[in-house]
Amino acid sequence: MTTPTLRPLSTLVVDNSRDAADSLADLLRLYGHQAAATYSGSQAVAVLGDRPVDVVLIDPAMPGLVGNALLRRVAAASPRKRPFVVVTTGSSDDHDRDDWRAAGADLVLMKPLPEGLVGGLLRRIRHFLDTLGPPTDEPGIAGPAGGTDARCDIRSSPPRRLPGKVSS
């Protein structure tokens, strides 16, 4: 029996720390995904306006375009296909997390991201996108792949779970 070939995800890493952005982009490439890194919110919005990506991993705490405004622009920057938005943050403030989710984050993760978590997470996101299509702006609305967007409203508790188990 052969193992099915999984399509690589197109990813964009947004972090004002060049080392952090480049390291995460390198790790994503090691897992077989396409990865680009940007170092500001305005760069990210420009890239997303030029080409859609499947997943954006973003640290919203950076100079210039930041936080909720940045997340809203990222979610709206690619009108053909809304990316799956993962916030990577050092903040443990629940209020920040709620605000980011309300602004368009699909998932909020604490830094540093364990290497094993990243690979497992992207496998689950790929399965999720392939099964349900890209995220929609409203929970419960059918996505382009048909069916219903099974993600719960992430502004409510408990947080949604991706299919399968993500190992750390």
- Pick from 10, 2, 4: nearest CA to 125: 10
**How far is residue 149's CA from residue 147's CA, in Å, rounded to a whole number?**
7
Q: Decide if 142 is inside a domain.
A: no
The answer to whether the CB of 62 falls within 8 A of the CB of 89 is no
Domain that holds residue 97: 10-132
Q: Decide if 151 is inside a domain.
A: no
Residue with tokens 């990577």: 88
The H or E element spanning position 102 is helix 94-103
Count of domains observed in the chain: 1
Residue 80 has pLDDT above 80, yes or no: no
Q: For residue 113, what pLDDT is reported?
A: 85
The answer to whether the CB of 85 falls within 8 A of the CB of 106 is yes
Q: Looking at residue 22, what DSSP letter applies?
A: H
Q: Decide if 126 is inside a domain.
A: yes
The answer to whether the CB of 39 falls within 8 A of the CB of 21 is yes
Residue 104 has pLDDT above 70, yes or no: yes
- Helix (H/G/I), strand (E/B), else coil: 108: strand
Q: For residue 23, what pLDDT is reported?
A: 95
Mean pLDDT confidence for 100-107? 88
Residue 143 has pLDDT above 50, yes or no: no
pLDDT digits (tens, 9 = 90+) for 83-102: 999 999 888 888 888 888 88
Buried b (16+ CB within 10 A) or exposed e, 129-143: beebbbbbeebeeeb
**How far is residue 137's CA from residue 81's CA, in Å, rounded to a whole number?**
11
Q: For residue 56, what pLDDT is reported?
A: 95
Residue 154 has pLDDT above 70, yes or no: no
Q: Decide if 120 is inside a domain.
A: yes
The better pLDDT of the pair 138, 99 is held by 99
Q: Decide if 148 is inside a domain.
A: no
Q: For residue 22, what pLDDT is reported?
A: 97
CATH code, domain with 85: 3.40.50.2300
Query: In which band, very low, low, confident or very high, does the pLDDT at 130 lie, cut at 50, 70 and 90?
Result: confident
Q: For residue 122, what pLDDT is reported?
A: 92
Q: Decide if 74 is inside a domain.
A: yes
Q: Decide if 163 is inside a domain.
A: no
pTM attached to this predicted model:
0.75
**How far is residue 60's CA from residue 88's CA, in Å, rounded to a whole number?**
8
Q: Decide if 40 is inside a domain.
A: yes
The answer to whether the CB of 14 falls within 8 A of the CB of 38 is yes
Query: In which band, very low, low, confident or very high, does the pLDDT at 54 lie, cut at 50, 70 and 90?
Result: very high
Q: For residue 5, what pLDDT is reported?
A: 56
The better pLDDT of the pair 21, 154 is held by 21
In this structure, of 41-45, 76-80, 102-106, the range with the lowest mean pLDDT score is 76-80
